[in-house]
């Protein structure tokens, strides 16, 4: 019996973890308890030293409390919560809706584009879906959009917040895989755009093949008109050409050796400043050189774009760390809400309260995961997982297919926090062993996990949309027509094409790894570098050595100041992974 237990500790721990989690008790505590219960069993069986748990405070202190990366979680959450109440989403939806409204499927394009912009600023799925569901859905229903198309577009566009930086998922995945958040953000940028493009392509197909499902706005619904009745589109086009021209001109004058990403970021900034300056002059002098539409678009678009620059631009060109970028974004969001007169004490308190709660439950899952992993790695659980996954037929491809199928399936039941903290750390070392680039792998997983928001019937985006979509027939106050409600079935069916698009996107990232800007297959030299991160046994050994030396030092009554640096990095696992990442 004892023999059997010792030989099969890892599968037994894993099996009971699944059972503990399904009991429905908070994940953080179920995870930790699993580690502790089996840690004691391990001590009884003689697998571990009695001092086994002594490493825990250092694991939490060094790996979580001192972790600068995790600090970005409250910052970006706070920024999103302030922005979602600042009225930015409403203005964007209204203006971009007017801009694209006259073409077929225009409102749907507007929802997707605004969804992408909100994703790059607020990064909160719930907020995007609720704003779009309240503002755009009634208009789409009024002008005869197919209910499935309308609800699917809204739910899916809201989930773009998961993949377009600055997203919380990417921060957590980067932390779990021991990679830098900045690299993760850079890698996610192009896939995020491609995904947005695929959504737009879907709407294009719908509007071509099922024209009735996504009609254009009728002329009477277009409000930003010149007194002469013109749309003002030409003026907007001219303004864009001038701004882009200014940006290009500036880029031309720069030295050729300037790094490309810095060049792009600064040039975009200059273009925006030119447009904003022209629109401001036009408004102050009342010259009416610009059309209403051009002026309105500029004033609505520039503040969020400036905020995106402030956050992502500074991270990309290396002026700020992701954590500092988050703090600056949060300050920017406060200023923006203040300037729109939407900031109140109650809003501020509410945002801080929600931020503190989210931070606490996320970090506590991580605490639980670290307690669990001490035991699980202690019994060589990672080797067991590695064994299961590296023996798959098809090597790397087989691994990727199985892992993606697994995550897709788990995403029906689990949300991304649980997937990130429980599944990702198990997969990371295996991917690493197979020579897969971890940035590329992390982004692949993030795109896959995005489906957890769209899967009927548990997807959260669908749930949020349900809570703001009409459940009974109502009278449209514009046209006075009785409008049919949106059924839950329609919301579910609307999401399915987007789940399919998501799967296609996963395939695209596998087929064209250049999208991430990383080669999935590492060279031997890179593998060696990355390989240093995997030798967990050795690190646990280091951990206990460090503990021992500390105890000795205490006994001698010596001041432990000398090895305090090592103490702070007491979590050898984290340290080694960080070091490996730094060297790269």
Partner 1 sequence: MQGLLKMSGLIDGMNERIGRATIWLILIVVIISAGNAVSRFALNISSNAMLEVQWYMFSAVFMFCSGYVLNKNEHIRIDVVTGRFSARTQNWIDVFGILVFLMPMALLLAYLSWPVFTNAWNSGEISQNPGGLVRWPVRLVMPIGFALLILQGISELIKRVAFLTGAGPNSLDKEAGPSAEQELAEAIKKHQVAPQVVSYVEANHEMVDQPKQGDRK
C-alpha distance from residue 233 to each of 86, 100, 243, 353 (Å):
28, 11, 15, 44
Quickly list H helices, 85-167.
88-100, 106-121, 125-142, 147-159
The residues, any chain, with a CB within 8 Å of residue 78's CB and separated by 6 or more, are 330, 333, 351, 352, 355
**Contact pick of 103, 234, 288, 319 for partner 1 (by CB under 8 A):** 319
**Contact pick of 10, 13, 28, 111 for partner 1 (by CB under 8 A):** 28
State the burial class of residue 367 (Cβ atoms within 10 Å of its Cβ: 0-12, 13-18, 19+).
Answer: buried
Is residue 328 at the binding interface for partner 1, with CB under 8 A as the rule?
yes
Residue 61 or 193 with smaller CB distance to partner 1: 61
Q: What are phi and psi of 471, to 5 degrees?
A: -100, -10
**Contact pick of 102, 190, 238, 324 for partner 1 (by CB under 8 A):** 324
**Contact pick of 240, 354, 521, 549 for partner 1 (by CB under 8 A):** 354
Residue 30 or 308 with smaller CB distance to partner 1: 30
Helix (H) / strand (E) containing 483: strand 482-483
The nearest distance, CB 558 to partner 1, in angstroms, is 9
Query: Which sign does the torsion angle of CA 182, 184, 186, 189 carry?
Result: negative
Q: Would you state the structure tokens that stand for residue 158, as one six-digit string?
A: 């809201």
Q: Which of residues 489-528 bind partner 1 (CB under 8 A)?
A: none
Give the separation between CA 435 and CA 131, rounded to whole angstroms: 43
Residue 106 or 325 with smaller CB distance to partner 1: 325
Residue 518 or 567 with smaller CB distance to partner 1: 567
Q: Give the other-Cβ count within 10 Å of 557's Cβ.
A: 6
Is residue 446 at the binding interface for partner 1, with CB under 8 A as the rule?
no
Binding mask 452-491 for partner 1 (x = CB under 8 A): ------x-x--xx-xxxxxxx-xxxxx------x------
**Contact pick of 184, 216, 320, 505 for partner 1 (by CB under 8 A):** 320
Residue 90 or 535 with smaller CB distance to partner 1: 90
The nearest distance, CB 60 to partner 1, in angstroms, is 7
Coil, strand or helix at 557: coil
Number of residues engaging partner 1 in binding (CB under 8 A): 106
Residue 165 or 332 with smaller CB distance to partner 1: 332
Q: Would you state the structure tokens that stand for residue 466, as one six-digit string?
A: 């349900």
Whether 422 contacts 381, CB under 8 Å: no
Residue 53 or 202 with smaller CB distance to partner 1: 53
Is residue 363 at the binding interface for partner 1, with CB under 8 A as the rule?
yes
Residue 58 or 175 with smaller CB distance to partner 1: 58
**Contact pick of 9, 111, 120, 125 for partner 1 (by CB under 8 A):** 125
What angle do the packed helices 292-308 and 106-121 form, to 10 degrees?
30
Which residue carries 């995945």 as its tokens?
173
**Contact pick of 114, 130, 181, 308 for partner 1 (by CB under 8 A):** 130
Cα end-to-end span (Å), the chain: 47
C-alpha distance from residue 225 to each of 90, 91, 222 (Å):
20, 17, 7
The nearest distance, CB 482 to partner 1, in angstroms, is 11
Is residue 128 at the binding interface for partner 1, with CB under 8 A as the rule?
no
Contacting range for partner 1; rule: CB under 8 A; set: 189-197, 269-277, 391-399, 555-563? 555-563
Residue 79 or 213 with smaller CB distance to partner 1: 79
**Contact pick of 323, 404, 451, 502 for partner 1 (by CB under 8 A):** 323
The nearest distance, CB 329 to partner 1, in angstroms, is 9
Q: Which of residues 80-119 bind partner 1 (CB under 8 A)?
A: 81, 84-85, 87, 89-90
Residue 84 or 432 with smaller CB distance to partner 1: 84
530 half-sphere exposure, CB direction, 13 A CA radius: 22
Contacting range for partner 1; rule: CB under 8 A; set: 132-140, 200-208, 291-299, 574-582? 132-140
Is residue 574 at the binding interface for partner 1, with CB under 8 A as the rule?
no
Q: Could you give the angle at the alpha carbon of 282 between the alpha carbons of 276 and 283, nearest 5°?
A: 90
Residue 330 or 443 with smaller CB distance to partner 1: 330
Binding mask 38-57 for partner 1 (x = CB under 8 A): ---------------xx-xx
**Contact pick of 9, 13, 17, 27 for partner 1 (by CB under 8 A):** 27
**Contact pick of 261, 418, 526, 529 for partner 1 (by CB under 8 A):** 418
The nearest distance, CB 302 to partner 1, in angstroms, is 20
Q: Would you state the structure tokens that stand for residue 37, as one six-digit string?
A: 């219960």
**Contact pick of 5, 12, 71, 251 for partner 1 (by CB under 8 A):** 71
Residue 126 or 522 with smaller CB distance to partner 1: 126
Helix (H) / strand (E) containing 474: strand 474-475
Q: Could you give the angle at the alpha carbon of 195 between the alpha carbons of 112 and 174, nearest 5°?
A: 115
**Contact pick of 9, 140, 312, 365 for partner 1 (by CB under 8 A):** 365
The nearest distance, CB 84 to partner 1, in angstroms, is 6
Whether 198 contacts 150, CB under 8 Å: no
Q: Which long-range contacts (C-beta less than 8 Å, at least 24 apart) are formed by 425-429?
A: 425/176, 425/369, 425/373, 426/382, 426/385, 427/385, 427/389, 427/403, 428/176, 428/177, 428/178, 429/382, 429/386, 429/533, 429/534, 429/536
Residue 247 or 469 with smaller CB distance to partner 1: 469
Residue 176 or 282 with smaller CB distance to partner 1: 176
Q: Which of residues 398-417 bind partner 1 (CB under 8 A)?
A: 413-415, 417
The nearest distance, CB 528 to partner 1, in angstroms, is 29
Is residue 200 at the binding interface for partner 1, with CB under 8 A as the rule?
no
Is residue 390 at the binding interface for partner 1, with CB under 8 A as the rule?
no
Sequence length of the chain is 584
Give the separation between CA 407 and CA 141, rounded to whole angstroms: 35
Whether 485 contacts 473, CB under 8 Å: yes
């Amino acid at each position: 019996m004892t023999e059997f237990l010792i030989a099969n500790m890892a599968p037994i721990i894993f099996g009971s973890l699944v059972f503990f989690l399904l009991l429905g008790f908070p994940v953080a505590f179920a995870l930790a308890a699993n580690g502790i219960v089996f840690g004691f069993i391990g001590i009884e069986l003689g697998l571990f030293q009695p001092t086994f748990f002594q490493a825990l405070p250092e694991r939490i202190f060094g790996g979580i409390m001192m972790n600068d990366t995790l600090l970005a979680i409250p910052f970006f959450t706070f920024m999103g919560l302030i922005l979602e109440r600042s009225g930015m989403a409403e203005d964007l939806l209204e203006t971009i809706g007017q801009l694209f409204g006259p073409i077929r499927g225009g409102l749907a394009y507007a929802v997707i584009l605004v969804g992408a912009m909100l994703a790059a600023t607020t990064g909160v799925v719930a907020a995007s879906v609720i704003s779009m569901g309240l503002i755009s859905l009634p208009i789409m229903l009024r002008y005869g959009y197919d209910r499935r198309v309308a609800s699917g577009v809204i739910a899916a566009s809201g989930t773009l917040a998961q993949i377009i930086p600055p997203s919380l998922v990417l921060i957590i995945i980067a932390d779990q895989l021991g990679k830098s958040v900045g690299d993760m953000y850079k890698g996610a940028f192009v896939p995020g755009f491609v995904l947005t493009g695929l959504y737009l392509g879907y709407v294009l197909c719908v509007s071509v093949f099922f024209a009735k499902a996504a009609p254009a706005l009728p002329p009477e619904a277009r409000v930003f008109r010149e007194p002469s009745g013109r749309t003002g589109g030409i003026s907007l086009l001219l303004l864009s050409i001038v701004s882009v021209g200014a940006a290009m001109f500036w880029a031309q004058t720069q030295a050729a050796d300037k790094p490309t990403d810095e060049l792009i970021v600064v040039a975009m900034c200059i273009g925006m400043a030119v447009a904003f300056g022209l629109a401001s002059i036009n408004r102050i002098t009342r010259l009416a050189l610009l059309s209403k539409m051009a002026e309105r678009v500029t004033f609505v678009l520039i503040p969020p774009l400036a905020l995106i620059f402030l956050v992502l631009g500074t991270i990309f060109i290396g002026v700020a760390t992701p954590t500092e970028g988050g703090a600056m974004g949060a300050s920017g969001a406060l200023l923006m809400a203040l300037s729109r007169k939407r900031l109140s004490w109650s809003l501020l308190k509410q945002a801080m309260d929600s931020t503190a709660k989210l931070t606490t439950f996320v970090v506590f899952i991580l605490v639980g995961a670290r307690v669990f992993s001490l035991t699980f790695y202690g019994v060589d659980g990672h080797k067991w997982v590695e064994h299961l996954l590296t023996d798959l037929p098809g090597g790397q491809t087989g691994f990727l297919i199985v892992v993606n199928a697994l995550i897709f399936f788990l995403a029906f039941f689990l949300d991304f926090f649980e997937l990130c903290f429980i599944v990702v750390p198990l997969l990371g070392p295996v991917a690493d062993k197979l020579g897969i680039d971890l940035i590329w792998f992390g982004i692949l997983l993030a795109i896959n996990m995005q489906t957890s928001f769209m899967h009927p019937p548990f997807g959260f985006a669908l749930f949020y949309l349900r809570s703001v979509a009409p459940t009974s027939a109502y009278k449209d106050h514009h046209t006075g027509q009785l409008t049919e409600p949106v059924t839950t079935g329609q919301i579910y069916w609307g999401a399915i094409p987007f789940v399919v698009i998501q799967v296609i996107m996963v395939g695209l990232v596998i087929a064209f790894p250049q999208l991430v800007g990383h080669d999935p297959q590492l060279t031997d030299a890179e593998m060696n570098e990355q390989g240093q991160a995997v030798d967990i046994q050795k690190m646990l050994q280091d951990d206990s050595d460090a503990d021992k030396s500390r105890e000795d030092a205490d006994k001698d009554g010596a001041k432990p100041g000398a090895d305090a640096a090592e103490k702070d990095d007491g979590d050898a696992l984290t340290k080694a992974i960080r070091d490996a990442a730094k060297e790269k």
